[in-house]
Amino acid sequence: MRRILSVFLIICLISGLFAACSQTVDELDLFVSDLAAMEHYSFTAVGEVTFYTVGASQVPLQYMMQGTRTSGNTSATLYYTDAGGRLPGLSLVYANRTSYLGFVPFVQGAMDQVYAIHGALDLESVFEDSGYLEYTAVSLEDFPLDFPVLAAGLGAGNRRQILSNEGIHSLTVSGDQLHPGVLVALSDPFELLASLNTLAFPPSFAPEVSPVRSPLLAGELSEYTLDLTFTREEDANVFTVWITLTAPGLMTITADVVYREASASAIAPPQDAVDLATFQAGMYAFHEMQAREIFLIESGFDFIYDLPELQMVGHDSESDLLIPFYMEIGGESVAVSLMEGASNTATEVSVFSFTPSMSLSYTTLDAHSASLTMALHVLQTLDLDAFDAENFQRTAMRLNAHNTAAVNALYYDDLHVGRTLHIYVLQNLEDSDYALFLSVVVMIDNLSFHAVAVLDELGFLIGIDFMEYVTRAAEAE
């Protein structure tokens, strides 16, 4: 449709070029004035972004928005279409100068994709009757596209360059003549999705925060061009705008909006909105429950809240079995215990201690609930299919009462080295945003007296009976 219209416009504009240049009547100002005076209207907006560079695959290629606006308030539904097809609708409400997002169907759709293998839990089980988010990061005041506001950023001097023919008006503006607010307005729908995804997912899953706006505003504005075409059906009081922003080497953004005068009911704010902190807390709770569900499905075991408080750092060992090693975590120096006489190596976020009988490795992780951090870390990093082994057995995950510490064990028959035991210990560090993850690997068939003594000593200092897991692994068939 856009291509057919473009051909039509070229024919019309060429035929009327000399007669239509430098019109004494400012068509744009008149168009803007009449549109701004229309207090009640419905609208349909369609937008698309096409990237010239790789790295923005998580941004939707298209959006479509339909809704009504009355007395400065807006009610609409926004649909995105990405490479996988059309996403569930996102309800938008702007009322009493506040923005609201009806997030449940949309976020549920995203969760259904992410957790498709095991099936996503019901998001409503977390938020119950709270279906809207009171949102301040992106204002919906100018959605879908407040053309009078956008036109003000085109610059008064550009208006004399409008070409007109048969009621269709066209204007091309150089990027260095555009107010940055024009670029912001055109990127707003894409930023809304990126912003919502950032809130709905843990940091390790979230897409880039500003995949459209940041590169757009940082680009060479003098090379940009904005092509604007607008028309009006006076009898029906219908206003149509076509906009193309071209940023060479970066992207092209198009936006087509139709405003149609219509009566509309009053728009009120939703009664069940949650604030941002409640939304994020709910999403963390959702991912935690989802991680537990996945863990249970894949392992077949339960969570047991019987773990005492642990002490993984700052040990005071009086034996010659362990030595302290200082890790830099969140700007603080934290002492962990390594094996004396072992091969000890370190990176920025981990340290590894190895002997033929057993190994210890400490890794720094971002801290959430211990059950969530443990489940996600173990399930994502330990792919059982990659092991040349059999007879896998995993214990239940033990948790403390505050869900700040966790222990889990896996044992199996390694076809090369014999019976092998993995013990995983995790503890959120006090007054910190980090957790410490310890992996203990024990070669049961090659376990030395020295290794047994180390396990006894380390377990005593941390607060775990490691030998209980060794005995269980050794006796299991």
* CA distances from residue 452 to 271, 364, 412, 444 in whole angstroms, order as listed: 62, 26, 19, 10
Give the residue, 223 or 375, on which the prediction is more confident.
Answer: 223
How far is the C-alpha of 86 from the C-alpha of 456, rounded, in Å? 57
How far is the C-alpha of 366 from the C-alpha of 314, rounded, in Å? 20
How far is the C-alpha of 412 from the C-alpha of 393, rounded, in Å? 6
How far is the C-alpha of 96 from the C-alpha of 467, rounded, in Å? 63
Given a cut of 60, is residue 355 above it in pLDDT?
Answer: yes
C-alpha atoms less than 13 angstroms from C-alpha of 453 in its C-beta half-sphere: 10
Is the bond preceding 144 in cis, omega lying within 30 degrees of 0? Answer: yes
Tell me what pLDDT residue 204 has. 46
Cβ-Cβ contacts under 8 Å for 347 (sequence gap 6 or more): none
Ramachandran bin of 166, using left for φ above 0, alpha for ψ from -120 to 50, beta for the remaining angles: left
Token reading at 83: 């490479």
Instruction: Give the model's confidence band at 15: pLDDT under 50 very low, under 70 low, under 90 confident, else very high.
Output: very low
Query: What percent of the chain is modeled with pLDDT above 70?
Result: 86
How far is the C-alpha of 146 from the C-alpha of 126, rounded, in Å? 35
Give the residue, 463 or 190, on which the prediction is more confident.
Answer: 463
Token reading at 228: 């604007």
Tell me what pLDDT residue 143 has. 79
How far is the C-alpha of 203 from the C-alpha of 367, rounded, in Å? 11
Q: Give me the domains of the chain, ranges plus CATH numbers.
A: 2-286 (no CATH), 301-475 (3.40.1000)
How far is the C-alpha of 452 from the C-alpha of 429, rounded, in Å? 27
Place of tokens 């959702």: 286
CA 191 to chain CA mean position, Å: 11
The pTM (predicted TM-score) of the whole model is 0.59
Show the CA angle centred on residue 147, arms to residues 158 and 178, nearest 5°. Answer: 40
Q: Identify whether the C-beta of residue 144 lies closer than 8 Å to the C-beta of residue 189.
A: yes
How far is the C-alpha of 197 from the C-alpha of 114, rounded, in Å? 12
| Cross-strand bridge partners of residue 85 | 82
Instruction: Give the model's confidence band at 313: pLDDT under 50 very low, under 70 low, under 90 confident, else very high.
Output: very high
Q: By mean pLDDT, which of 158-167, 231-240, 271-280, 297-306 is the weakest?
A: 158-167
Given a cut of 80, is residue 423 above it in pLDDT?
Answer: yes
| Neighbour-count burial of 18, counting CB atoms closer than 10 A to its CB (0-12 exposed, 13-18 middle, 19+ buried) | exposed
How far is the C-alpha of 197 from the C-alpha of 216, rounded, in Å? 20
Q: Identify whether the C-beta of residue 288 lies closer than 8 Å to the C-beta of residue 295.
A: no
- Mean pLDDT value of segment 187-193: 85
Token reading at 290: 């989802």
Place of tokens 């995950």: 397
Query: pLDDT by residue (tens digit) across 38-92?
Result: 889 999 999 999 888 655 555 568 999 999 998 888 999 999 987 777 888 899 9
Query: pLDDT by residue (tens digit) across 101-138?
Result: 998 888 888 888 888 888 888 888 888 877 899 987 77
Given a cut of 80, is residue 332 above it in pLDDT?
Answer: yes
| Cross-strand bridge partners of residue 261 | 41
Ramachandran bin of 218, using left for φ above 0, alpha for ψ from -120 to 50, beta for the remaining angles: alpha
Instruction: Give the model's confidence band at 10: pLDDT under 50 very low, under 70 low, under 90 confident, else very high.
Output: very low
* 382 DSSP assignment: -
Q: In 3D, which of 361, 366, 336 has the Cα closest to residue 347? A: 361
Query: What percent of the chain is modeled with pLDDT above 90?
Result: 32
Averaged pLDDT score across all residues of the chain: 82
Place of tokens 């720094």: 364
| Neighbour-count burial of 474, counting CB atoms closer than 10 A to its CB (0-12 exposed, 13-18 middle, 19+ buried) | middle
- Mean pLDDT value of segment 250-267: 90
Q: DSSP for 261-326?
A: E---------SSEE-HHHHHHHHHHHHHHHHHHHHHHHH---EE--PPPP--SS----SSSEEEEE
How far is the C-alpha of 352 from the C-alpha of 342, rounded, in Å? 10
Cβ-Cβ contacts under 8 Å for 303 (sequence gap 6 or more): 292, 371, 396, 397, 399
Instruction: Give the model's confidence band at 304: pLDDT under 50 very low, under 70 low, under 90 confident, else very high.
Output: very high
Given a cut of 50, is residue 24 above it in pLDDT?
Answer: no
Tell me what pLDDT residue 136 has. 77
What spatial distance separates the first Cα and last Cα of the chain, rounded to whole Å?
A: 69
